[in-house]
Amino acid sequence: MKLAAIPMTFEQAAAFVREHHRHLTPPAGHKFSIGAAADGQIVGVIIIGRPVARLRDDGETLEVTRCCTTGHRNACSFLYGAAARAAFALGYRRIGTYTLKSEPGTTLRAAGWKLIGETRGGRWSRLNRPRPDFQPLEQKWLWEQTA
């Protein structure tokens, strides 16, 4: 089945993530979202926004904040490729994303992304800025593609 990229509103993409993502809820917002369709059915979405880490938020960088599929063959790598092409077409110079350290990153490698680093993981909460933990706390890999 050939995949086709389709435009998605944030509401549509967030609803798909709520229904299908195995460990995350939708992000707070987005710059844009792309869907993957096969035979007229949505089989995946990717949500792209500003980088979560403030040091990466330089005005030239975007971040994939969610990638979610039904498990359709090649949908993840298709969406990562489409996200990078769209970001570069809009004038951004870098696009990044994080995966759990326990995830192999096969789809990102297939889409031409490079592993560039590792994060400590852990809690976002601090004594003077308490926050609930909604995401897994393990270490993460940082992946990137550049224009």
Other CB atoms closer than 10 Å to residue 8's CB: what's the count?
22
Q: How far apart are CA 24 and CA 30, in angstroms?
A: 15
pLDDT 10s per residue in the chain (147 long)?
799 999 999 999 999 999 998 777 778 889 999 999 999 999 999 999 999 888 999 999 999 999 999 999 999 999 999 999 999 999 999 999 999 888 899 999 999 999 999 987 665 666 777 766 656 667 889 999 999
Rounded CA separation 111/80 (Å): 6
Q: Which residues pair with 34 in a beta bridge?
A: 7, 46
Q: What is the pLDDT of residue 119?
A: 84
Alpha carbon 90 to its chain's center: 17
pLDDT at 3: 97
**34, 82 in Cβ contact below 8 A?**
yes
CATH code 3.40.50.720 for 3-146: no
- Smallest CA-to-CA distance from 79 within 3, 2, 1 is with 3
Domains of the chain, residue spans? 3-146
3-state secondary structure the chain: CCEEEEEECHHHHHHHHHHHCCCCCCCCCCCEEEEEEECCEEEEEEEEECCCCHHHCCCCEEEEEEEEECCCCCHHHHHHHHHHHHHHHCCCCEEEEEEECCCCCHHHHHCCCEEEEEECCCCCCECCECCCCCCCCCCEEEEEEEC
Q: Cα(31)–Cα(73) distance, rounded to whole angstroms?
A: 26
What pLDDT score was predicted for residue 136? Answer: 61
